[in-house]
């Protein structure tokens, strides 16, 4: 069963709410790897408007979308049928995914030190020029999600027996991704999906729920379960970054999306990720003499570079025709 965590008291600063929420997150991420989050305080209007912008973007003619195609920073438009998580150890993914997506990262000015240094993944976002209000709405949602998820980080730290402020410095000028996805109602081939079975590469994922089903989680039994739909909630999961950081204490649970039936599905997952220079070394609370670190320390930059090159190589988008 996928747990439901209500943040109403936590967001209001209720007595004991930090410790209680930390325990709930710990239990969810050690037993299931997924949970549904309510009482988060993110405006329903902002969520609805961002879903509407995702539809506007994907309703554009293909030639217009291809002018925004994925660049070397993995910002922009990614066409359907040209990618999958090929490195997945959950399933032999041998067919491309049946969704198209548009990626937005942090807006950094041209004189930002990381942009001046030419660092990959820090380049300018790609924006459509003929969708008034699109950029402002999407960036407002990005900002709202950043504020909310940063407020949740102390509870995540407490869930791992760390000081509440432990994670906060790692998410200053961070590498979070917002993805606007479109799943058309198409018939999949055998072993083909809207998104094939995989685990996420990032720290934590926050998916605003919509009434069109599709997201499924692989439970410990091996069975695939639909994520329960609660209006206004987020489906939340840990990614491989948090699994690695916590020495495997927190699960990065396999999930997939099946193509919708009879109607289109849109998704706006917010992929929380640390600064590129963050060192992913086993957390001090997650190791002891009988439980040594399972992975060598690495940087988030090294990890996400490997993962992106293997799965979302923009070169695969270059010959997509309008």
pLDDT of residue 284: 96
- Per-residue confidence (pLDDT) for residue 202, from 0 to 100: 97
Residue 122 lies in a domain: yes
Phi, psi of 167 (to 5 degrees): -80, -25
Contact at 8 Å (CB) between 131 and 64?
Answer: no
pLDDT of residue 312: 80
d(CA 133, CA 304): 31
**Whole-angstrom Cα Rg for the chain:** 19
pTM of the model: 0.96
What pLDDT, on a 0 to 100 scale, did the predictor assign at position 311?
A: 83
Q: What is the DSSP string of 117-144?
A: TT-TT-S-----SSSTTHHHHHHHHHHH
Rounded distance, CA 186 to CA 99, Å? 10
Tell me the C-alpha to C-alpha distance, in Å, between residue 137 and each of 42, 49, 82, 90, 234.
14, 7, 28, 35, 19
Residue 304: alpha-carbon gap to chain centroid: 13
Is 278 a member of any domain?
A: yes
> Going residue by residue through the chain (322 aa), what tens digit of pLDDT does each one get?
899 999 999 999 999 999 999 999 999 999 999 999 999 999 999 999 999 999 999 999 999 999 999 988 999 999 998 777 788 878 888 888 999 999 999 999 999 999 999 999 999 999 999 999 999 999 999 999 999 999 999 999 999 999 999 999 999 999 999 999 999 999 898 999 999 999 999 999 999 999 998 999 999 999 999 999 999 999 999 999 999 999 999 999 999 999 999 999 999 999 999 999 999 999 999 999 999 999 999 999 999 999 898 888 777 767 776 6
CATH number of the domain residue 12 falls in: 2.60.120.330
Report the domain count for the chain: 1
pLDDT at residue number 321: 66
Q: Is residue 110 part of a domain?
A: yes
Residue 154 lies in a domain: yes
Query: What's the domain range around 203?
Result: 4-317
Flag whether 210 is in a domain.
Answer: yes
Q: Is 265 helix (H, G, I), strand (E, B) or coil?
A: strand
Q: Which residue has the tokens 């988030």?
A: 300
pLDDT of the residue at 322: 61
CB-count exposure of residue 97 (10 Å: 0-12, 13-18, 19+): buried
Q: Residue 298 domain-assigned?
A: yes
Q: What is the DSSP letter of 291?
A: B
User: Does some domain include residue 81?
Assistant: yes
Q: How many CB atoms lie within 10 A of CB 283?
A: 21
Judge whether 102 and 208 are in contact, CB under 8 Å: no
Residues 6+ apart with CB under 8 A from 190: none
Between strands 4-6 and 34-38, the pairing is parallel
Residue 322 lies in a domain: no
């Amino acid at each position: 069963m996928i747990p439901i965590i209500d943040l109403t008291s936590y967001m209001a600063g209720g007595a004991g709410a930090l410790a209680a929420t930390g325990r709930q997150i710990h239990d969810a991420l050690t037993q299931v790897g997924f949970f549904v989050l309510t009482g988060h305080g993110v405006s329903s209007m902002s969520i609805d408007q961002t879903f509407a912008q995702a539809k506007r973007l994907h309703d554009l003619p293909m030639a217009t979308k291809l002018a925004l195609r994925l660049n070397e920073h993995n910002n922009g438009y990614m066409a359907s049928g040209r990618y999958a998580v090929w490195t997945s150890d959950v399933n032999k993914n041998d067919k491309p995914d049946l969704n198209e997506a548009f990626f937005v990262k942090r807006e950094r000015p041209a004189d930002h030190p990381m942009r001046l240094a030419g660092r990959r993944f820090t380049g300018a976002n790609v924006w459509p020029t003929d969708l008034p209000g699109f950029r402002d709405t999407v960036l407002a949602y990005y900002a709202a999600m950043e504020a909310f998820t940063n407020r949740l980080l102390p509870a995540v730290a407490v869930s791992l027996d760390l000081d509440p402020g432990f994670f906060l410095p790692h998410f200053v000028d961070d590498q979070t991704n917002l993805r606007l996805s479109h799943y058309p109602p198409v018939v999949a081939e055998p072993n083909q999906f809207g998104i094939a079975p995989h685990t996420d590469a990032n720290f934590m994922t926050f998916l605003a729920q919509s009434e069109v089903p599709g997201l499924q989680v692989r439970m410990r039994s091996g069975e695939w379960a639909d994520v329960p739909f609660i209006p206004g909630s987020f489906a939340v999961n840990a990614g491989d970054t948090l699994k690695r950081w916590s020495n495997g204490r927190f699960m990065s649970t396999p999930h997939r999306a099946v193509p919708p039936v009879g109607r289109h599905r849109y998704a706006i997952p917010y992929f929380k990720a640390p600064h590129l220079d963050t060192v992913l070394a086993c957390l001090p609370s997650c190791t002891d003499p009988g439980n040594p670190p399972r992975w060598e320390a690495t940087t988030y930059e090294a990890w996400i570079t490997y993962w992106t090159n293997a799965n979302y190589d923009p070169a695969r988008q270059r010959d997509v025709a309008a």
